Structures are given as C-alpha cells and as structure tokens.
Structure 1
C-alpha cells in the first residue's frame, strides 16, 4: 500500500479534526463513505469533543480497527478488535509516552510532546502497518 499520510495531513489542513483526518483517509478500505466517516468521527476531535483527553488521531485508528475487524452484531469479534486496538495504542505510547491530547500538545505543562500533524502521521503509520499491511 502506498502511504496515505500526505492525504491525511491535507485533510487536517483543510479543516478535518485529527480523528476525521485519519479515519476518512482509509474509509474506503472499511466500506464506509467519506461523508459517513466524517460524521462518525466528528465528536472525537480535540481529545474527545474538545476535552483534550484521548488523542483524536488515535481515536481515528481505533474507529478503523473496529470497522475492519468487527464481524457484526451476531459475531463475537471483540477480542480480536481489542487486540488490534491494544497493538496500535501500545505502539503509539511507545513512541509518544502518552495518548492524552493535552499532554501531547503541552496545554498544561507548556512542553509540547507532539504536534497534531505528528500524531496524525504516527496514527496513520500504525493504521497502515497494523490494520492494512500486506500479508
């Protein structure tokens, strides 16, 4: 797969929140239209509805993990989805030490750890390597 990171960053620059930028970039791979994904992801921006909690880029990756691995309401696929989610979050934590928006941005400490664009790049890298890698 050719990396879609530039497309995600362009979406962010044109007004998509971090979650929307990540989730909409790969929505075609999980069978969701961009309009639907945009609306699904809207509340997860700026750390869960502007609360600066869980990073929106990470939330976008989680949304994609659920869409990719869920077997629907009648299938028991939560375990697999949770495993994919943990793999993504743990890798993000290893690189950034936190997945909390206010800590990443340095809102309270005054010391930013990672920009929104950097978080989007990291989340997209993980989406591409964990969810959509060939093989």
Structure 2
C-alpha cells in the first residue's frame, strides 16, 4: 500500500484535489477507470466543493470502500451493507486520529476567506495536515479491508 499512498500524495501535489488523489490512486489496484474516478470525485475536494464539510480524503476513501465491496460481492445489497460497516469503522478511526471528519474543523481555519486562505498557505496546511489525512486514509483503508 506504500505505492498507493505515494501515488495519492504525488497526485495531490500535482493538481488533484484530496478526494481525486485518493480515489484515483486505487484505480490500478481495484481495476477501475481513473479518468471516470477523476471526474466523479472532482467536486469532493476541500470538504465537498470547497465548503469545508466532510474532508475530501474521507469522501474519497468512502468511494474506494464502495468500489472494493462492489468487486468483492456480486449482490448490491451485500456490497452496500459491507461498505456501510466499513465506512462506520473508517469514520471512527479517522476521528480518533484527526478529531473530526470535517475539513474546517480539522484545519481550524476557513479558507473561503482571505485570512483563512493566507493562514492555510502560511502554515503549509496542504503539507502539514491535508497530506497526512490522505496518508492516514490509505492506511485505514488497508487496515479495514484486512479486518
């Protein structure tokens, strides 16, 4: 999974949002179309459309878990139920690491304002917080899919 983590972080620093970078990093591993994944996850970065709600690394992880279970279970109900259980576990683990699932709470700034945008840049939150959320998400996906 180190390769997936590196791919996700690289993508994040090269133009993809947090959800896109996480989801597309799994395209080879889970055998799905990375271009479609890029499109589907386009509006989930910055806490869903930069609204700073649910972290994009989290929503990207939820999508990964859905694809994982859709490939594992032939029946949609089984896949959906397994995905919901994994999402619940992922959420508990992620909250224990970052205190919240919400982008604004995790960053403790509103990057929709000039002051918040400046603080985001000055404190290099992309590197110091967001990339850690992505990295931790990959680790949690690995943990949960092996449980």
Q: Is TM (by shorter chain) over 0.5?
A: yes
Matches within 5 A, 1:1-12: 1-12=1-12
Q: 1:31 Cα shift?
A: 2.5
Counterpart secondary structure, 2:96 = helix
Query: 2:21, 2:91 → 1: CA distance?
Result: 17
Query: 2:6, 2:14 → 1: CA distance?
Result: 12
Q: 1:128 Cα shift?
A: 2.0
Match of 1:75 in 2: 76
The question of 1:125 aligning with 2:139 is answered: yes
Bigger drift between 8-17 and 22-31 goes to 22-31
Q: Quick check: which has more Rg, 1 or 2?
A: 2
Q: 1:129 Cα shift?
A: 2.0
TM-score, length of structure 1 as denominator length: 0.86
What are structure 2's unaligned runs of at least 5 residues? 111-115
The root-mean-square deviation of aligned C-alpha atoms, in Å, is 2.4
Q: Moved runs in structure 1, 4+ residues, more than 6 A?
A: none
Query: 1:76, 1:47 → 2: CA distance?
Result: 28
Counterpart secondary structure, 1:63 = helix
TM-score, length of structure 2 as denominator length: 0.79
Counterpart secondary structure, 1:14 = coil
Matches within 5 A, 1:101-120: 101-108=103-110, 115-120=129-134
Q: Aligned pair in 2 of structure 1 residues 120, 75: CA closer, same or farther (>3 Å)?
A: closer
The answer as to whether partners of 1:105 and 1:115 remain within 8 angstroms in 2 is: yes
Select the structure that is richer in helix. 2
Query: 1:107, 1:65 → 2: CA distance?
Result: 29
The answer as to whether partners of 1:27 and 1:64 remain within 8 angstroms in 2 is: no
Correspondence for 1:99 among 78, 98, 101? 101
**Matched residues, number:** 132
Query: 1:51, 1:35 → 2: CA distance?
Result: 24
Deviations 1:76-131 (A, max 9, x none): 12221100111111110111110100111111598x99611111111111122223
